Amino acid sequence: MPDAAALARLTARLDKPVVMVGLMGVGKSTVGKRLSQCLNTPFVDADDEVVKAAQMSIPEIFDRFGEDYFRDGERRVIARLIEENAGRPAVIATGGGAFADDETRALILDRAIAVWLYADLDTLVARVGRKNTRPLLTGRNPREVLGELMERRGPAYAQAPIRVISDAGPQSNGVARIIAALEDYLA
């Protein structure tokens, strides 16, 4: 991990938000928070902002209105978050399906720096088993669902200019990888 002065120089070169993308359970929120702390920038979780805007949980949104409605609201929230952080560094964590949506992906690629955080299937299955709040997994086999999502969403995620593995090691490893990738990207 770079020292404080190097991190400050990196942050000074960031002129748009860093947006974490990838499958559920990969660590976008957790690693994103730690990244924002290292860079001394604001952090915001798009899912939390969707919940605030809708005044209901994500599972409730899915149950009452369906995934398409959720994705539309998610896109509007992400656009607002990017706009609020335009021209300055910030870290935004998105939901797993956000970057798979063509319009949302185009918005992020145009106005932010997308970081694809990815992990192997075993790691994802172990992580998502810790929460029962994921609508796409309700009543289904997590390994099958995640395998399908990996295959279907992989080409979209691959469009992110920065790709970083999130392995079973400490979160600080993932943060260090993202910082090194951002330094290369901005060089």
Tens of pLDDT, residue by residue over 63-94, are 999 989 999 999 999 999 999 999 999 999 99
Lowest mean pLDDT among 34-43, 60-69, 107-116: 60-69
Query: Is 36 annotated among the ligand-binding residues?
Result: no
Domains of the chain (ranges plus CATH)?
Answer: 4-186 (3.40.50.300)
Question: Quick check: 134 pLDDT over 80?
Answer: no
Give the confidence band of 164 by pLDDT, cuts at 50, 70, 90.
very high
Is 68 labelled a binding residue?
no
Is 154 labelled as part of a ligand binding site? no
Residue 30 annotated as lining a ligand binding site:
yes
User: What integer pLDDT is reported at residue 168 of this predicted model?
Assistant: 80
Asked if residue 152 belongs to a known ligand binding site, the reply is: no
Distance CA 11, CA 144 (A): 39
pLDDT for the residue 130: 66
| CB-count burial class (<10 Å; 0-12, 13-18, 19+) for 85 | buried
| 32 annotated ligand binder | no
| Residue 25 labeled ligand binder | yes
φ, ψ at 106 (rounded to 5°):
-60, -40
Q: pLDDT tens across 51-62, in order?
A: 999 999 998 998
Confirm whether residue 111 is marked as ligand binding.
no
Model's pTM, two decimal places? Answer: 0.93
pLDDT band at 131 (very low <50, low <70, confident <90, very high): low
Half-sphere exposure in the Cβ direction for 148 (13 Å, CA): 8
